[in-house]
Structure 1
Amino acid sequence: MKKQHLNILTISAIMTTIGFIMDGDPKVPSVLLRFTEFFLMLGIVFLITSALYFGISKIARKFQKI
């Protein structure tokens, strides 16, 4: 795994954990459902963060060539 992907995954995990701690919804008694929600949110945050990061870096590289 590339270092950039690992860094984005770490940032996403931290953001997801903070979001779950700050969440004010009542907790679901099912542990399996909690893990499913956590990993799905981790995936969503990872995809959004990586799309923003790689999109911005690609645009920045194109502007540097000009």
Structure 2
Amino acid sequence: MKKALLNIFALSSILTTIGYIMDGDTNVPSMVLRFTEFFLMLGMVFLFMSFFYFGSVFIKRSFRKLRS
């Protein structure tokens, strides 16, 4: 589980960085606001990816228990 969380975090940080670079909004002069936006987006992407990954693993295990 620790390796899965680390992989999800790495993938979400890559996706967040790409999304933040490709963002077409005007630059905000406050550096604190930039970091806040980045880390909040990183947290949201991480939570969504974790929810779907662990949810699908749970459903897959539940179906395997039903079949046996």
Query: Is TM more than 0.5 here?
Result: yes
The alignment status of 1:2 with 2:31, answered yes or no, reads: no
- Answer with 1 or 2: which has the greater Rg: 2
TM-score with structure 2 setting the length: 0.92
The residue aligned with 1:25 is 25
Q: How far 1:29 moved relative to its partner?
A: 1.0
In the TM superposition, structure 1's runs of 4+ consecutive aligned residues that sit over 2 Å from their partners are: none
Identity %: 64
Size of the aligned set, in residue pairs, is 66
Q: Which residue of 2 aligns with 1:39?
A: 39
Partner SS for 2:32 = helix
Question: Displacement, 1:63?
Answer: 0.9
CA distance in structure 1 between the partners assigned to 2:63 and 2:5 by the alignment: 23
1-10 vs 48-57, which moves further: 1-10
- Unaligned 5+ runs, structure 1: none
For 2:42 and 2:65, the matched residues in 1 are separated by 34
| Aligned equivalents of 2:27, 2:8: Cα separation in 1 | 27
